[in-house]
Amino acid sequence: MMKTEILKLLRESGDYISGQELCSKFGVSRTAVWKVMNQLKEEGYGIEAVKNKGYRLEITPDVLSSSELKSRIRNRWAGRDIYYYEETGSTNIDAKRLGEEGAAHGTVVVADKQNAGRGRRGRSWESPAGKDIYFTILLRPELAPDKVSGLTLVMALSVTEAVKGCCGQEAGIKWPNDVVLNGKKICGILTEMTMETDYIQHIVIGVGINVNLDAMPEEIAQTATSILLESGKKTARAELLQKVLERFEINYEIYEKDQDLSRMLEAYNGYLVNRDRQVRVLDPKGEFEGIARGINASGELLVETPDGKTAEVYAGEVSVRGIYGYV
Ligand code: BTN
């Protein structure tokens, strides 16, 4: 689309681009270029137009529109196709529907607001407009069904790396897949898979990141926070999402090739906030306590118990509670 291309040119040049240059590049009239500039202005972009110099991008609004995202993302497959909704029920449900309809591996659904955002364990996910990131990526992986839970850890790692790269904040991971800042949750991940007898038809990984929320709802204020509340700085949501998808494309390819987390262990364990800390494992077969030592290549949490043994805790079956507070 011409709008996306123009946005990309303006952002990448950082300087004036003449109307004439744009006209010849796209083979359109000056009026057509002028109309695109007006559309961009309506969407909140600050574009300066100077006679004999051309157009320059001065201000980018904090939006997640598909032209904003497409003008940034340079990945080979993660986010090549983007569906943006100003408002939707749940991006996970949208992505599953697109999966049924044959959408490509790496298709991303993103929303500014969700009316029925879903969390794990049947909980809901607060999804107000204009502040946070809600997105789902559709995957058609070459993976055995028992390798799918590892993908959630791959996403948690990618978000953590992106928060560091984009916001300069030292985020951590609460096993298996919550991203935390200063001990409070900033990101939740919900992975769902659609099976066909014995093979995976597709997987959707839904990610909610609390980015620019300036106050947490009271019910979750003890355990959840936002990047803004912790850093005092606003983050451009599109830039953060771009980074998450960049990191995910790289990490996913490693996971698919190795079929395990071996090459990501060091990075993941380096971010693990549970590491070397006391945890209580809420195992349906019997609760126990121990010291978390990190994950293994299958993504299981290694918990050293007082009798000197090491338990391998599988994410699907149990939940881990820190003895002190949230982590
Ligand atoms: C959790 O409970 O920690 C997981 C929360 C996942 C929320 C995200 S927001 C985008 C996507 N769409 C949904 O309905 N849920 C996920």
Distance CA 185, CA 318 (A): 19
On whether both 210 and 286 belong to a single domain, the answer is no
Q: 59, 76, 107 — which closes off a domain? A: 59
Distances in whole angstroms, Cα of residue 24 to Cα of each of 4, 12, 27, 277, 301: 17, 18, 5, 62, 58
**Statement: residue 54 has pLDDT above 90:** yes
- Minimum CA distance residue for ligand 1 atom 11: 206
> pLDDT at position 317, please?
65
**Statement: residue 170 has pLDDT above 80:** yes
**Statement: residue 69 has pLDDT above 60:** yes
Residue predicted with more confidence, 76 or 314: 76
**Nearest atom of ligand 1 to the alpha carbon of 208:** 9
Q: In the chain, what's the furthest Cα-to-Cα distance?
A: 79
Distance CA 247, CA 188 (A): 17
On whether both 256 and 287 belong to a single domain, the answer is no
**Statement: residue 256 has pLDDT above 90:** yes
Beta-carbon count within 10 A of 190 CB? 22
- Minimum CA distance residue for ligand 1 atom 10: 134
On whether both 35 and 73 belong to a single domain, the answer is no
For residue 285, what pLDDT band results from cuts at 50, 70 and 90? confident
Mutation pick for ligand 1 pocket among 109, 124, 190 (CB with most ligand atoms within 8 Å)? 190
Q: Is 179 in the pocket of ligand 1 (CB under 6 A)?
A: no
**Statement: residue 116 has pLDDT above 60:** yes
CATH number for the domain that contains residue 29? 1.10.10.10
> pLDDT at position 326, please?
54
> pLDDT at position 142, please?
86
Residue predicted with more confidence, 197 or 160: 160
Q: Is 220 in the pocket of ligand 1 (CB under 6 A)?
A: no
Q: 255, 271, 287 — which closes off a domain? A: 271
- Residue (of 271, 288, 284) closest to 323 by Cα position: 288
Angle at 212 between CA 187 and CA 236, to 5 degrees: 95
- What is the total count of domains within the chain? 3
Segment 87-96 mean pLDDT = 98
Q: Is residue 327 part of a domain?
A: no
Q: 13, 44, 59 — which closes off a domain? A: 59
For residue 258, give both structure tokens. Answer: 């190795």
> pLDDT at position 316, please?
67
**Nearest atom of ligand 1 to the alpha carbon of 135:** 10
On whether both 262 and 287 belong to a single domain, the answer is no
